Structure 1
Amino acid sequence: MSEELIRITDSAQDYLRDLLSKQDQEGMGVRIFVERPGTPHAECCMAYCPPDEQEDGDVRYDYEGFHAWIEGKSVHYLEDAVIDYKKDSMGGQLTFRAPKSRVPDISPDASLEERINYVLYAEINPNLAAHGGSVQLLELTEDNVAVLEFGGGCQGCSVVDVTLRDGVERTLKERLPELTGVRDKTDHSVTDNAYYS
């Protein structure tokens, strides 16, 4: 693809070219993706990508002397992203700024996972925050069960079952009818910050 999605500065391109040239595999590139996209916990990641190890849906971008594969489902979270490299006394540091990586995607074709995250962070967490609590999506199973983890005041709280059943699960199922269930995977034996003990 010719048009740049991610701006990789000249210094970062030099650094990546040098890094890739030290790999003993011909045609080695990088793969760029976002872990937990559309949530406050989003993390931009980069890994080596040997030839033919990109995944279906990945998009290839060519830079001078190397190429990058962008994970298909991360593409719109990486719009306007900038990768830079600055030398310092310890050698140097690669920085990755992706302003859209933490913005929930609520477009009509957003995945169920993205829509669950949107409801959690836009509707449910602001209510839980009043009790110092929060909830996040750990995974979505193949049969559309949302596996959640509570944190803060909700972890170890004696009424978390009520919160899960009457608040979180009801809200998620009302907004997302294709969701078949909600499961809590929190370790509630930790009660240090529990709102109700």
Structure 2
Amino acid sequence: MIIITKNAKKYFNYLLNKKKIGTQIYLFINNPGTQFAECGISYYNNKQFSNDNIRIKYDNLFIYINKNHIIYFKNSKIDVIKNELELQLILKVPNAKKKIIKKNKILKNKIINVLNNIINPQLKQHNGYVFLIDITTNKDIILEFKGNCNGCSMSNITLKEIIEKKIKKLFPEINNVLDFRYYKKK
């Protein structure tokens, strides 16, 4: 995924030895997928570990990256060059400005379109609507009922007999359509 040359690893270790214990390297990208994308390398205290970041091990070195940006770092390379005065890290990220659309995002947009144009017009007759909360890794769809549909005794039947059947017919890869009220209790 990310190539770090032997010299870059040595230089990172040299730099980290001067820092507090627990300090690691963080690769970041601002405005990914746009012409304004900027990439960089900074220090990261692993005590501040966030669920948004992932850790990648390179020999005795850990690199942290935002998990939503990892796709932009595909085929990246970190190297060191030596000029007259100092060593300098070079980070090459060829995909930084590429517009990368994840398959799940395309599916999500298609499902939202079906909800807005097919399902919700029917629910609107009862002063209600439904919206997409999430698509899980198991390909389950989490929906939330709003308006008069929220808490309605018929919402379970509507979910299973109308919404789920329509969604599964249009998107066979979907396993289940679940109500957010019950899903969050799991």
Contact 1:30 1:47 in 2 (8 A): yes
Q: Deviations along 1:160-180, whole A, 9 cap, x unmatched? A: xxxxxxxxxxxxxxxxxxxxx
Aligned with 2:3 (options 4, 7, 16): 7
The alpha-carbon deviation at position 66 of structure 1 amounts to 2.0
Aligned identity (percent) is 26
Deviation at 1:103, TM superposition (A): 0.3
Query: What's 2:85 paired with?
Result: 90
Query: Quick check: 1:35–1:44 contact (8 Å CA) kept in 2?
Result: yes
**Distance in 2 between the 1:110 and 1:28 partners?**
34
2:48 maps to: 53
Which residue of structure 2 aligns with residue 18 of structure 1?
14
Aligned to 1:106, the other structure's residue is in SS state coil
Q: Based on CA coordinates, which of the two structures has the bigger radius of gyration?
A: 2
Q: State the partner residue of 1:191.
A: none
- Aligned partners of 1:110 and 1:85: how far apart in 2? 36
Are 1:31 and 1:54, in contact at CA under 8 Å, matched by a contact in 2? no
Structure 2: any 5+ residue segments left out of the alignment?
110-186
1:141-180 matches, within 5 Å, as none
The count of residues paired between Structure 1 and Structure 2 equals 107
Cα distance in 2 for residues equivalent to 1:80 and 1:55: 24
Distance in 1, matches of 2:26 and 2:44, equals: 5
Matched, 1:74 2:65: no
In structure 1, what is the equivalent of residue 34 of structure 2? Answer: 39
Structure 2 matches for 1:84-163, cutoff 5 A? Answer: 84-110=79-105
Question: SS where residue 46 of structure 2 aligns?
Answer: coil
Answer yes or no: is the 8 Å Cα contact 2:26–2:43 preserved in 1. Answer: yes
Structure 1 gap segments, 5+ residues each: 116-197
Stretch moving more, 63-72 or 95-104: 63-72
Deviation per CA, 1:108-151: give whole Å up to 9, x if none. Answer: 4349xxx9xxxxxxxxxxxxxxxxxxxxxxxxxxxxxxxxxxxx
Deviation at 1:45, TM superposition (A): 1.6
Partner letter of residue 83 of structure 1?
Answer: I
Distance 1:54 1:46, change over 3 A: farther
Shift of 1:48: 0.8
| Aligned residues of 2:28 and 2:40 also touching (Cα < 8 A) | yes
Read off the aligned partner of 1:109 and give its amino acid letter: N
- The structure with the greater share of residues assigned to helix is 2
Please identify runs of 4+ aligned residues in structure 1 that moved more than 2 A: 106-111
Give SS of 1:48's match. strand
Give a deviation string over 1:72-112, Cα, whole Å, max 9, x none.
1110000000011011102121111111111012234349x
Q: Following TM superposition, by how much is the alpha carbon of 1:6 offset from its aligned partner in structure 2, in angstroms? A: 1.1
